[in-house]
Amino acid sequence: MVFRSGAAFMVVLTGLWSCGGTGEPETESSVANPPSAVAKGGDGRFGDYEPVSGWWKMAPEHDDRWTWGNVSGLAVDSPDRIIVAVWGDRDSEGTQREGGSNYLVVVDREGNVVENWSQWDETLHRPHQVYISPYDPERHVWIVERGQGRGVHMQVLKFTNDGSELVMRLGDQDDPATREEARANPTPGPFDYGDPAVLAFLPDGTFLLGDGYWNSRIVKYDADGNYLMEWGEQGTGPGQFDLIHGLAIDRAHRVYVADRRNNRIQIFTENGEFVEEWPDITDPTGVLIDDREAAWVISGQLHRVLKYGLDGELQHSWGAYGGSGGVAGGLSRPHQIDVDQEGSVYVASWFGGWLNKFTPKPDADPDKLLGRRLVLER
């Protein structure tokens, strides 16, 4: 396993790294209310998709008290294998199950839990999002971990596809305890994370980390986790951020950043040169660019999926609230989106504690459906 910190590099052959760490976690629901922005172009609750009723199921160990915690992310390996990140098990009062359980699970096309990576329960606390690089023939599974409890640190984790081995861990053991403490350090080291959030990958194996909640920067690493560069700072101007919560890369290698609290998408070159911004996008919690040259943005507060052309024009939207009193199959603070090889769409509902699956309707308009996730030429 590879471990990197701001000051050192070492190879660890066995064992898990853990160290005490505390701090008040920043919840997803603490995002400030943005100015009103209407998602136009959508008609019907789910547009040209049909929600699969009853798809998300309880885990075998769930009972009358315990159920899923916040479902924060997913990555599609295949239509028969979807890897899901959860903030452990919780009861109706929000109490987390002592000792932890169900942080990383794998479900099949019917929504049944077929794998539980419980061997990593002590390594995880707030797994934020899940990724599989399309350029990796071994299809490693990446997790951005927010830490802030149970002795778990802020880190980026890379596992073998079957979860049997942790092959890379990036992060420093000396986590900041609060946003104020993180922002009091204007020059954090390459691995001094301040509540990291999201990843994106390039064909040569380099990757970008949105570091994210507190540090307001994007950090670029090579395929081995070596620091290359970074850009960004806290603020509202071009090249400044207030909660980086989504990253995507188009064919021209432009980087799309969901700047969540600033209610916008910012666009940069892959080396951080500002290109443009798309303003007035309510609470963008993620962005995916498909092979049809469309940018799909999920809005946490609107509980909708928004389709934009790469010129920044809103073309279509769909989705509906699915919490208490909401619509069956609806969304509740959507947090990460992915699409499988058969065109089914999956959306993690963070606040609701479930994962939605949507399939295209038989008479669906192709222009209103997500294409495959864009894969750049090598």
Give, for 346, the enclosing helix (H) or strand (E). strand 345-349
What pTM was computed for the model?
A: 0.89
pLDDT number for residue 94: 80
pLDDT number for residue 27: 52
Topology of the domain covering 35-368: Neuraminidase (2.120.10)
CA–CA separation, 307 vs 292, rounded Å?
11
**At residue 253, what is the residue type?**
H
Domain assignments of the chain as residue spans, ordered by start:
35-368
pLDDT number for residue 146: 92
Give, for 182, the enclosing helix (H) or strand (E). helix 179-183
Contact at 8 Å (CB) between 361 and 345?
no
CA–CA separation, 23 vs 130, rounded Å?
23
pLDDT tens string, the chain, 378 residues long: the values are 544 444 332 323 223 222 333 333 445 544 443 333 333 333 469 999 999 999 999 988 888 899 999 999 999 999 999 999 999 888 888 888 876 677 899 999 999 999 999 999 889 889 999 999 999 999 999 999 998 877 788 999 999 999 999 999 999 878 887 888 888 888 899 999 999 999 999 999 999 999 989 999 999 999 999 999 999 999 999 999 999 999 999 999 999 999 999 999 999 999 999 999 999 999 999 999 999 999 999 999 999 999 999 999 999 999 999 987 778 889 999 999 999 999 999 999 999 899 999 999 999 999 999 999 999 988
pLDDT number for residue 28: 54
CA–CA separation, 89 vs 112, rounded Å?
17
pLDDT number for residue 23: 36
